[in-house]
Amino acid sequence: MGRFDAVTDRQLAGLKTVLFLLALVPAGRLAWGAWQGTLGANPIEAVTRGLGDWTLNFVVLTLCVTPLRKATGWVWLTRLRRMLGLFAFFHATLHVTSYVWFDQFFDWGEIARDILKRPFITAGFAAFAIMALLAATSSNAMVRRLGGRRWRDLHRSIYALALIGVVHYAWMVKKDITLPAAYGAAIAFLLGLRAWWRWQERQRQLAGAYLKKPKGKVIPIAIKR
Amino acid sequence: MLIKRPDPIPILPSEITDAGVHARRRDFLRLSIGAGLVAAAGQPLLPARAQPPSGERLSIASRTDYAAMEKPSDLEDVATYGNYIEFSFDKETAMGLANRRLRVRPWTVRIEGLVRQPRTLAIEDLLRLAPLEERVYRHRCVEGWSMVIPWVGFPLSVLLRQAEPLGSAKYVELVTATQPDTMPNLRSRQVEWPYLEGLRLDEAMHPLTLAAVGMYGQTLPGANGAPLRLVVPWKYGYKGAKSVQVIRLVEREPQTFWNKAQPEEYGFYANVNPDVDHPRWSQARERRIGEFFKRKTLPFNGYADQVAQLYAGMDLRKHY
């Protein structure tokens, strides 16, 4: 058994605190930079884009949790996933606020027209709406209310919102799509892994792997009914 | 394998978050967000950035304000925020590189094509061609930001007349510098080099169209298109070709860089027009650099009285 295979609740709480504080650093740096005037000539654009970048970063981090868990066997990683997802939503909310406030100054008519007319804003808004739904159903109480299976199916829409988020980015840039392409590749890889696991699982089922007798010594365990 | 299990450590009462604090955790989060937003909203906008390289002082014969007494933007902003995509697709990277690297001497400008008298002018002679004027113009980028810039130069028409354009010349094509050793983005295959721009001859001869050699009383910084650039204040900024080397008079509408790259988004005319949206964003408003909220964009960037007649009878939605 590896050293980090199991963590106590207390260690996990400590880890969560550290993660929470770390996750506040990017927004804190942007706020500080805006305050100090070190974000260049167009600080509002720098803030809005920085928040957009960090939304995507946290979406990618959230999607990394399961692959990392499978690779390391550290099951407790899953218990950090909700916080990462909520931090994606946190940055997305500030990103949208910056647009609504500084770009449109609460002109809801203009915002509605933007959402309908401009594909990159349509995509961004769609991704944000899905993310808001996931954030709203992120609590333990909501897991119980929806039931594990339905909750899991609903929260798999992070796959869609991640892709829509990258499309939003790619449609926004003027010409150079290097960065959106990099995010796209990372997300495609992370989603591809999941497709691969599913395929493998399916192959195992088709081969009847579960019906075969396992090799080696079988340790009987008692199951209470 | 070394197996090390931590001893169970008792949790001290002092380490447990107080229930009251725990209950207020969401308030804390809200407060933090609020504080962040307030910090962003109340920012002083005092730039604490590196100064652009200072150029040589130019002797200016006359000054005219074409920006209705609006305060000129900070020189630091003008020299560090903008596009010079031969250097990089990223604005600040590009401007920094251009300021440091662009080679501006020796420099010649060639006027050729449909002219009676093709000319090659050294930049030193070009600077003495006509009395230098300072003109304060509004500058509107197609991306939705704007500035107010005191340019120094003379009407482009002065330069064009040096070569005596022929009657068959209908357009002006501008070819800008390519310096593979100083401009890293020339390696990019996403676009086609060199950066080309063009104007109709009557636009090029219009008294507002400036051949700029300086700004803020000094020679141009590299990032702003040293040593000679075009300034067409009623058009989006990308029409203002930087670091011009060849001015060619031609009969047909020349190809232009952005039009070739994305024809459905960037037209040949590129007149500032709040009523014709960019396909991906509205052009109705703009963010003046240094200001907080967006302001309304003016037709022809506020120069409609002087230039609207150039486009009489034209469908500006089609000829965007």
CA nearest to A96, candidates A160, A43, A47: A47
Mean pLDDT within A110-120: 93
Q: B residues 194-253 near A, CB within 8 Å? A: none
Give the chain A residue nearest B280 (alpha carbons): A118
Across the interface, which of B35, B45, B294 has its CB nearest the CB of A37?
A: B45
Average pLDDT, chain B: 89
Question: B188 to chain A nearest CA, in Å?
Answer: 9
Give the model's pLDDT for residue B55.
Answer: 85
Pick left, alpha or beta for residue A209 (phi over 0 → left; psi -120 to 50 → alpha; otherwise beta): alpha
B213 with B219: CB under 8 angstroms? yes
Asked whether residue A116 is domain-assigned, the answer is yes
Asked if pLDDT for residue B318 goes beyond 60, the answer is yes
Asked whether residue B272 is domain-assigned, the answer is no
Mean pLDDT within A152-167: 97
Give the model's pLDDT for residue A27.
Answer: 97
The helix or strand, by DSSP H or E, that contains position A214, with its residue range, turns out to be: none
Question: B279 to chain A nearest CA, in Å?
Answer: 7
Asked if pLDDT for residue B14 goes beyond 80, the answer is no
Asked whether residue A92 is domain-assigned, the answer is yes
- Reading the block at residue B3, the tokens are 């197996």
Give the model's pLDDT for residue B231.
Answer: 98
Asked whether residue B71 is domain-assigned, the answer is yes
Chain A CB contacts of B80 below 8 Å? 40-41
Asked whether residue B30 is domain-assigned, the answer is no
Asked if pLDDT for residue B35 goes beyond 90, the answer is no
Asked if pLDDT for residue B38 goes beyond 90, the answer is no
Give the chain A residue nearest B142 (alpha carbons): A174
Asked whether residue B236 is domain-assigned, the answer is yes
Asked whether residue A213 is domain-assigned, the answer is no
- Reading the block at residue A153, the tokens are 């199916």
Asked if pLDDT for residue B48 goes beyond 50, the answer is no
Give the model's pLDDT for residue B47.
Answer: 41
Asked whether residue B311 is domain-assigned, the answer is no
Asked if pLDDT for residue B212 goes beyond 50, the answer is yes
Range of the domain at B90: 57-254
**What CATH number is attached to the domain comprising B94?**
3.90.420.10
B101-136 tens-digit pLDDT: 999 999 999 999 999 999 999 999 999 999 999 999
Q: Is A177 on the interface with B (CB under 8 A)?
A: yes
Look-up: residue for tokens 């709203």?
A136
Across the interface, which of A40, A102, A176 has its CB nearest the CB of B80?
A: A40
Confidence of residue A69 (pLDDT cuts 50, 70, 90): very high
Look-up: residue for tokens 């030193």?
B124
Report which DSSP code applies to A4: T
Give the model's pLDDT for residue B43.
Answer: 44
Give the model's pLDDT for residue B45.
Answer: 42
Number of H helices, E strands in chain A: 9, 0
CA nearest to B153, candidates B248, B75, B64: B64
Mean pLDDT within A214-221: 68
Query: Does A47 contact B261 at a Cβ distance shorter than 8 Å?
Result: no
Question: B102 to chain A nearest CA, in Å?
Answer: 21
Q: Is A44 on the interface with B (CB under 8 A)?
A: yes
The helix or strand, by DSSP H or E, that contains position A99, with its residue range, turns out to be: none
Give the chain B residue nearest A97 (alpha carbons): B37
Give the model's pLDDT for residue B249.
Answer: 98
Query: Does B46 contact A37 at a Cβ distance shorter than 8 Å?
Result: yes
CA distance A10 to B8: 10
Distance from the Cα of residue A36 to its chain's centroid: 30
Asked if pLDDT for residue B69 goes beyond 50, the answer is yes
Q: Give one DSSP letter per residue of chain B, joined into a string.
A: -----PPPPPPPGGGSPPHHHHHTHHHHHHHHHHHHHHHHHT-------PPPPP--B---SEEEE-STTPPPPPHHHHHHSS--TTT-SSHHHHHHHHHHH---SS-EEEEEESBSS-EEEEHHHHTTSS--EEEEEEEE-TTSEEEEEEEEEEEHHHHHHHT-B-TT--EEEEEE---TTT-GGGG-SSS-SSPEEEEEHHHHTSTT-EEEEEETTEEPPGGGTTT-EEE-TTB-GGGS-SSEEEEEEESSPPP-HHHHH-TTTS-SS-B--TTS-BTTB--SEEEETT-SS-EEPPGGGGTHHHHGGGGTT--TTT--
Give the chain A residue nearest B7 (alpha carbons): A8
Range of the domain at A57: 9-206
Query: Does B262 contact A175 at a Cβ distance shorter than 8 Å?
Result: yes
| Identity of residue B44 | P
Count of structural domains within chain A: 1
Asked if pLDDT for residue B36 goes beyond 90, the answer is no
Asked whether residue B31 is domain-assigned, the answer is no
Mean pLDDT within A63-89: 96
Chain B CB contacts of A34 below 8 Å? 39-40, 43
CA nearest to B268, candidates B320, B318, B210: B320
Q: Which of A176, A177, A178, A179 to mutate to test the interface with B (most CBs of B within 10 A)?
A: A176
The neighbour count for residue A83, using CB atoms within 10 Å, is 18
B188 burial (CB, 10 Å; 0-12 / 13-18 / 19+) is middle
Give the model's pLDDT for residue B292.
Answer: 87
CA distance A44 to A55: 17
Asked whether residue B211 is domain-assigned, the answer is yes
Count of structural domains within chain B: 1
Asked if pLDDT for residue B162 goes beyond 90, the answer is yes
The helix or strand, by DSSP H or E, that contains position A54, with its residue range, turns out to be: helix A43-72
Give the model's pLDDT for residue B271.
Answer: 98
Confidence of residue B26 (pLDDT cuts 50, 70, 90): low
| Dihedrals phi, psi of B109, to nearest 5 degrees | -120, 125
Mean pLDDT within A27-37: 94
Query: Does A90 contact B33 at a Cβ distance shorter than 8 Å?
Result: yes
| Identity of residue A188 | A
Q: Is B76 on the interface with A (CB under 8 A)?
A: yes
Chain B CB contacts of A10 below 8 Å? 9, 11
Across the interface, which of B6, B33, B48 has its CB nearest the CB of A36?
A: B48
Give the model's pLDDT for residue B46.
Answer: 42
- Reading the block at residue A130, the tokens are 């899905």
Question: A156 to chain B nearest CA, in Å?
Answer: 26
Q: Is A115 on the interface with B (CB under 8 A)?
A: no
Asked whether residue B197 is domain-assigned, the answer is yes
Asked whether residue A40 is domain-assigned, the answer is yes
Chain B CB contacts of A114 below 8 Å? 282
Mean pLDDT within A119-148: 96
Confidence of residue A213 (pLDDT cuts 50, 70, 90): low
Average pLDDT, chain A: 92
Give the model's pLDDT for residue B12.
Answer: 54
Q: Is A107 on the interface with B (CB under 8 A)?
A: no
CA distance B114 to B132: 27
Across the interface, which of B3, B9, B290 has its CB nearest the CB of A10?
A: B9
